[in-house]
Amino acid sequence: MHIASSSSGRFPSASSVSRIRNALLRHYDRHRRDLPWRGESDPYRIWISEIMLQQTRVVTVVDRYHDFIRSFPDVHALARAPVARVYEAWAGLGYYGRARNLHAAARAIVRAHRGWLPTTYAELTTLPGIGPYTAGAVASIAFGEAVPALDGNAIRVLSRLVASADASGSAAAVRQLSASAIALVRGTRPGDLNQSLMDLGASICTPRQPKCGVCPVRRWCAGFASGQPTRFPAACPSRRTKPILAVVFAWLEDSHGVWLERRPSEGLWAGQWQLPGAEGPRARARLAERLDVSLEARRLARIEHELTHRQVRATVFEATSPWRVRSRNGFRRFERPLSAPVSALARRTIQTVLAARSDP
């Protein structure tokens, strides 16, 4: 593995590196988070957990990890499954391109690697959906390769250790801190070392109120010595206001349930079930025409929903004319629509409408 480095972002001596490593591992052994995939030896399960953890809160993954493993207990089961079933199992985790890449990677593993997950950082990065962080995490945790795994928590810990002011998560920060990360991970238990940095950043070296008094590496921390550890790393430059995406949904309900529509396999909410909808200019008129229904003027609900790169404003209208959904591919009626594998936006939307309709 080759990672560029600079003259800054280095620990002062090899002896300091050794002491920091030992302190991190001792703390990890005593205080590591109790997570379902911790202590797991199956590379497949470690890979699944790391893909789930990409841009998703740990508490959300904890709730979903075992269900996904029960549905797809090994890479062969995942590769054999229709991608639509993988999308359904992924419902609520967000960033549905991960589910598509996970399925594609499983098929590549079966096809090109006889069902065995590649064992090195370099090979792992050739699979769909696996970037530098995920490859480092899987290679170090599952296979003991001495490579770093720089997530946001680890970057923050290292930034404070060496008082690096580069913006958190920026390319400059990753380049600057890579030398320190490589120095730390060399030695025994590289996977545990990487996880110790992640845990430290999640529980002690937090963004706004770090608990420096109980930090196991405080004595070597240049950020702590400065008296202002929260200066490191610098905050990312403020982002522009998110663009607004207008979405219109149709509420089609009869005595047997509510009709939902499966989203396309590409794009937002890929492969998930939602209320039939349309996006962008003239969405309401286009939706009424596509469904061959009339949407009454009074709306049932309006939802504000934030995505990573945009702000969604969704409005739900009730269809008042008869419809012929039965003949349309991709539609299905659910007696209990919240039991369907729906996106977070769809769940909020359905909950809001049901609550409004039951309110006397």
- Active-site residue numbers? 50
Q: Which amino acid is present at 174?
A: V
Q: 3-class secondary structure for 100-169?
A: HHHHHHHHHHHHHHCCCCCCCHHHHCCCCCCCHHHHHHHHHHHHCCCCCCCCHHHHHHHHHHCCCCCECC
Q: Which amino acid is present at 171?
A: A
Contact of 119 with 127, CB cutoff 8 Å: no
Strand, helix or coil for residue 320: coil
Distance CA 74, CA 212 (A): 42
Distance CA 276, CA 118 (A): 41
Strand, helix or coil for residue 305: strand
Q: How many residues does the chain have?
A: 360
Measured from the Cβ of residue 253, the count of other Cβ atoms closer than 10 Å reads 14
Distance CA 345, CA 40 (A): 33
The bridge status of strand 273-274 relative to strand 257-262 is: antiparallel
Contact of 314 with 345, CB cutoff 8 Å: yes
Distance CA 82, CA 293 (A): 32
Handedness of CA 148, 184, 157, 217 (dihedral sign): positive
Distance CA 133, CA 289 (A): 46
Measured from the Cβ of residue 30, the count of other Cβ atoms closer than 10 Å reads 8
